[in-house]
Amino acid sequence: MVSAWHLWVIVGILLFIAEIFTPGFVLASFGIGCLFSALAAGIGFSLKMQILGFIVGTLVAYFTVRPIFTRYCYKSSPDVKTNVDALIGKIGRVTETISLEVGTGRVLVGGDDWKAVSVENTIIPERSPVEVVRVQGTTVYVRPV
């Protein structure tokens, strides 16, 4: 015969397995809550106490273990640039002559066509290689390579 604590342990294990497929340590917090409930059921407490054990265990895991876990397991490297910050330092090719006087200039960088302005206020002819210095809105500021 299967007792209540067996069911709590099985549900807890299933939640730990499900956590593998979802980031954030939320399901694992519920799994820890199930283990608290299994302990309460194993001691012989009533269903109300088992549910209370589940709630307390989940909250303790979520607010104490989860921050520690996410700090060490989901580190993001500060060196990794994303979005438009990743364009800075990239080499592109001028597709339309860059001229501040005429107000023209387009650059192909990473497969995308951007409006371009020369940081040195010089004319950069078409097909010239340029380096992206900064991005402001939909405009890249470039210098000749």
pLDDT in tens, 96-140: 999 988 888 999 998 889 999 999 888 999 999 999 999 998 899
On whether both 36 and 91 belong to a single domain, the answer is: no
Domain-located, residue 78: no
In sequence order, which residues have a C-beta less than 8 Å from that of residue 25 and are 6 or more positions away?
19, 62, 65, 66, 69, 70
Domain-located, residue 18: yes
**End of a domain among 73, 108, 131?**
73
Global pTM value: 0.51
The boundaries of the domain holding residue 123 are 83-144
10-48 pLDDT, tens digit each:
999 999 999 999 877 899 999 999 999 999 999 999 999
Helix (H) or strand (E) holding 27: helix 26-43
Q: Distance between CA 15 and CA 62 in Å, rounded?
A: 14
**End of a domain among 73, 101, 129?**
73
On whether both 66 and 88 belong to a single domain, the answer is: no
On whether both 124 and 67 belong to a single domain, the answer is: no
**End of a domain among 21, 54, 73?**
73
Number of domains in the chain: 2
Residue 62 burial class via C-beta count within 10 angstroms: exposed 0-12, middle 13-18, buried 19 and up: middle
What is the CATH classification number for the domain harbouring 90?
2.40.50.140
